[in-house]
Chains A and B, each alone.
Chain A
């Protein structure tokens, strides 16, 4: 027993070192599956307030470019409205999806798994799995919700998959991230007989409950496939610029519970 005390006294630093490292690694491993990011939720609440203050400062610096972007979007919406009025018989009122505007208060783009923090939470009706879009295109999906903040898994995440459709020929494929640059993703599972052209546009398919159909995802940058594979892949340039993201909209599917109760998707 005495020897044990001597041993602990002599090697206390090494023992402490091993204990602390084991503790750290347990924490890292626990946070690895993205569903179990409880700690992120905790730090959402602690860091959320501070990030929000700094974000307010940055907002002032970006007022001019933000204004320009909003004007641009206004113009787009007005033109769409004009179109709808012109062909009133084919236009239908979309009450399936409601859009909740939110601010980005923290954003990462250089990690292996990137997350965005937004300033709307449970109180504003946000729930996990809701889609997040911006005026340029798809951003990601809501992952965790606290009372006033939510964390969003952006497309720049190794767990992120979005179901997409080629605008030209209606074929469906999946978009994942290329794990390297925040500007590019990979389109997987393209039927190999399909001829892929650089510049082809991809939009959301609307097959998931998170996103409405026909939201822009990106354009094809490069064809990566060789001929002897079942499915082709291609490099995609995201239409969303993740490094300058400030305003986003959370997509709320009003019939989600009803659709889920049928359990046909999944």
Chain B
């Protein structure tokens, strides 16, 4: 229990720092903006209640917002993503698949499942984020393009990070 809490706190701090100091400064062309901190919400345990997911999502979104000077922007997108997470899990797994599993990680659920789960959540998150940032329907094509490209790049970076920090199996 405490182990999970401490691990989550460390993950929270590390991901916020990574996002603010590294990934907010990286742009591959003007359409791709990697959002890596959402990995925190993806990796929360299966047994968390919906309310807890929402609050955790709100907290990390707000933390990133304070550093980027955009109050509410990332938080809104992350809360939406946390809200959709149970439905995405329900959509991509059968109940029997997640019995006895604790975390939706690559090690427990497999790379292929995680990639689908990750890209769906990233698409939802980025769509809300870029739409709120632009705040108009006029730019919808641009927003879709930005969402698609950013989600793919974010997923690749997230997988890289997972393999970098993956605990070595005994």
Contact = CB atoms under 8 A, between A and B. Distances in A.
A17 B61 CA distance: 14
A111 B76 CA distance: 17
A42 B70 CA distance: 11
A180 B134 CA distance: 12
B72 A47 contact: no
A12 interface: yes
Interface stretch (A19-27, A197-205, A219-227, A230-238): A19-27
B83 A17 contact: yes
Given A13-B54, A112-B134, A39 B76 contact: no
Given A12-B51, A110-B30, A31 B70 contact: yes
A110 B27 contact: yes
Contacts of A108: 68
B66 A28 contact: no
A112 B133 contact: yes
B69 interface: yes
A13 B70 contact: no
A181 interface: yes
Which label, helix, strand, loop or mixed, suits the secondary structure of the B interface? helix
Nearest to A180: B30
A79 interface: no
A61 interface: no
A54 B76 CA distance: 28
Contacts of A32: 135
B54 A28 contact: no
A13 B50 contact: yes
Nearest to B80: A21
Given A17-B54, A110-B27, A110-B30, A24 B79 contact: yes
Contacts of A180: 30
A20 B55 CA distance: 8
Interface in B35-86: 49-51, 54-55, 58, 61, 66-73, 75-76, 79-80, 83
Interface string B129-152: 000111100000000000000000
A111 B68 CA distance: 10
A40 interface: yes
Interface string A11-51: 01100110011011111101110000101101110110010
B21 interface: yes
A28 B58 CA distance: 14
A16 B72 contact: no
Name the residue among A31, A40, A46 with the largest chain B CB count within 10 angstroms.
Answer: A31
A115 interface: yes
A25 B83 CA distance: 16
B33 interface: yes
Contacts of B49: 13
Interface in A154-197: 180-181
B69 A115 contact: yes
A32 B71 CA distance: 10
Nearest to A41: B69
A56 B1 CA distance: 40
A47 B66 contact: yes
A92 B120 CA distance: 66
B30 A25 contact: no
Contact of B67 (A20, A37, A43): A43
B33 A24 contact: no
Contacts of A26: 72
Contacts of A24: 58, 61, 72-73, 75-76, 79
A181 B51 contact: no
Given A13-B51, A28-B132, A21 B70 contact: no
23 contacts: A13-B51, A16-B50, A17-B50, A17-B54, A20-B58, A20-B79, A21-B80, A24-B76, A24-B79, A26-B72, A27-B71, A27-B75, A28-B76, A31-B70, A37-B69, A43-B69, A43-B71, A44-B69, A47-B69, A110-B27, A110-B33, A111-B133, A112-B134
Interface of A: 12-13, 16-17, 20-21, 23-28, 30-32, 37, 39-40, 42-44, 46-47, 50, 54, 108, 110-112, 115, 151, 180-181
